[in-house]
Amino acid sequence: MFNVRQATLKDAEQIAKVHDQTWKLTYQPLLANEDFQQVMTYEHRKIMWETTLASNRVQQYVYVAEHNNGDIIGFISGGQERTKNFDYELEIYNIYVLKEYQGHKVGHELLKQFVNQMIQDGYQSLLVWILTRNLYGKFYVRYGAKVVEAENVTIGHGTYEETAYGWKDVQHLNQKLLEAIS
């Protein structure tokens, strides 16, 4: 069993571990080896999460899924849509679940908590970017996301296509999340 809660500064190290481990597992097959080798290290991720969680100026939602033993097994983070090129208010920046917990509704519960907070705060639309070749795109489509745009992104020295998925109405997403439970 697990529970979902808002992240705190003391979670930075465990979030960084989940982020580093799951990012590498997900993206190593999708990136050229030389590009993969140039990604952020665990140490950089730890500093990034400490900074994010300690800042009062960074408006970011961060929730963790915590196993009953206290270990963080997944997390979601997001905030304002960063590009300002699309008519979406918020963006999911990260959602990662340790491999051994995938398929156990952890991502579902993280997304549900994120969406509930969005609705409570009066936001209505949501966007998420992933590499086009990333098979986890089906997770978003399952909950009604539509393809918004595809653009190229540079990782290391390589260029890769990224796809944006979006929900114009997060109430619709919320309904899909509730239906998936029953």
pLDDT in tens, 83-109: 888 899 999 999 999 999 999 999 999
Position 182 pLDDT exceeds 60: no
Task: Report pLDDT digits (tens) over 118-161.
Answer: 999 999 999 999 999 988 889 999 999 999 999 999 888 889 99
Strand order in the sheet with 146-155: 2-6, 60-67, 72-80, 90-97, 126-131, 158-167, 146-155
Q: How far is residue 109's CA from residue 46's CA, in Å, rounded to a whole number?
A: 24
**pTM of the full structure:** 0.93
What tokens does 145 get? 């996301």
Residues 34-44: what's their mean pLDDT?
A: 76
Q: What is the spatial distance between Cα 143 and Cα 167, in angstroms, rounded to a whole number?
A: 9
- In 3D space, the residue among 150, 154, 132, 99 whose CA is nearest the CA of residue 30 turns out to be 132
Report the C-alpha gap between 37 and 41 in whole angstroms.
9
Residues with Cβ < 8 Å from 22, sequence gap 6 or more? Answer: 96, 97, 98, 99
Q: Is 124 exposed, middle or buried (0-12, 13-18, 19+ CB in 10 A)?
A: middle
29 pLDDT tier (thresholds 50, 70, 90): confident
Which of 37-41, 48-52, 84-88 shows the lowest per-residue confidence on average (mean pLDDT)? 37-41
**Could you tell me the domains of the chain?**
2-181 (3.40.630.30)
